[in-house]
């Protein structure tokens, strides 16, 4: 033989030695750890965005209830109807459409995806004499000073984390104030 012949035992020992070697193992470990770390970082970013989104949803609800609080049926006595009910100029004060338009004009991110609803409640007493709030409707009598306006703002937050299914979290905030004018 001319020296190019390698016996099977030597070849097997050499192959096993190379396979048992840890050379390059840290590169594989780094790749696996990197995937986990990047997924966790994106999860933290998404959670931070969800908390920020909840903050602007709750702020929008507070601002909307303040808007409705000062735009009851007596608002027209001091201001123009276009100020009290900007979208349709009603003399009965702001309604759900005015409140929704106001929320969308606040300039919050994704304001066009915010859902706004308003409910007016009147005070009454239960059998024990405790004050309770009962649904009233949307007429001018429901919006009188002393009534309660309750504004609910919702936002469907899309939660996107790599390697996980995309979820939508419905962020909702409710704010209630007593109508002042």
pLDDT tens by residue, 134-181: 888 666 677 888 888 999 999 999 988 777 788 899 999 999 998 887
* Tens of pLDDT, residues 125-139: 888 888 888 888 666
Please check whether residue 85 lies inside any domain of the structure.
yes
What is the span of the domain harbouring residue 62? 24-178
Q: What pLDDT is recorded for position 137?
A: 67
pTM: 0.74
Please check whether residue 3 lies inside any domain of the structure.
no
In terms of C-beta density within 10 A (0-12 exposed, 13-18 middle, 19 or more buried), how is residue 114 classed? buried
Please check whether residue 150 lies inside any domain of the structure.
yes
What does the CA dihedral 181, 99, 101, 117 come to, rounded to 10 degrees? Answer: -170
Number of domains the chain is built from: 1
Please check whether residue 136 lies inside any domain of the structure.
yes
Please check whether residue 104 lies inside any domain of the structure.
yes
* Tens of pLDDT, residues 96-130: 888 999 998 888 888 889 999 998 888 888 888 88
Please check whether residue 46 lies inside any domain of the structure.
yes
Please check whether residue 5 lies inside any domain of the structure.
no
HSE of 51 in the Cβ direction (CA atoms, 13 Å)? 6
Q: What pLDDT is recorded for position 20?
A: 72
3, pLDDT greater than 70? no
Residues in the chain: 181
> Which residues, at least 6 apart from 8, have a Cβ–Cβ distance to it below 8 Å?
none
- Of the candidate ranges 2-11, 33-42, 148-157, the one whose mean pLDDT is the lowest: 2-11
In terms of C-beta density within 10 A (0-12 exposed, 13-18 middle, 19 or more buried), how is residue 12 classed? exposed
Contact 117, 152 (CB under 8 A): yes
């Amino acid at each position: 033989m001319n020296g190019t012949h390698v016996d099977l035992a030597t070849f097997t020992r050499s192959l096993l030695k190379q396979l048992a070697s840890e050379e390059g193992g840290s590169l594989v470990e780094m790749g696996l750890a990197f995937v986990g770390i990047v997924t966790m970082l994106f999860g933290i970013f998404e959670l931070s965005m969800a908390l920020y989104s909840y903050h602007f949803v709750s702020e929008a609800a507070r601002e909307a209830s303040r808007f409705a609080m000062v735009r009851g049926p007596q608002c027209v006595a001091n201001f123009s109807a276009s100020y009290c009910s900007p979208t349709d100029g009603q003399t009965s004060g702001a309604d759900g459409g005015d409140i929704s338009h106001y929320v969308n004009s606040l300039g919050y991110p994704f304001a066009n995806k915010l859902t706004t609803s308003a409910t007016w409640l009147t005070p009454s007493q239960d059998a024990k004499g405790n004050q309770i709030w009962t649904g009233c409707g949307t007429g001018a009598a429901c919006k009188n000073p002393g009534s309660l306006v309750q504004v609910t703002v919702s936002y469907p937050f899309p939660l996107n984390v790599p390697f996980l299914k995309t979820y939508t979290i419905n962020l909702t905030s409710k704010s209630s104030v007593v109508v002042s004018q």
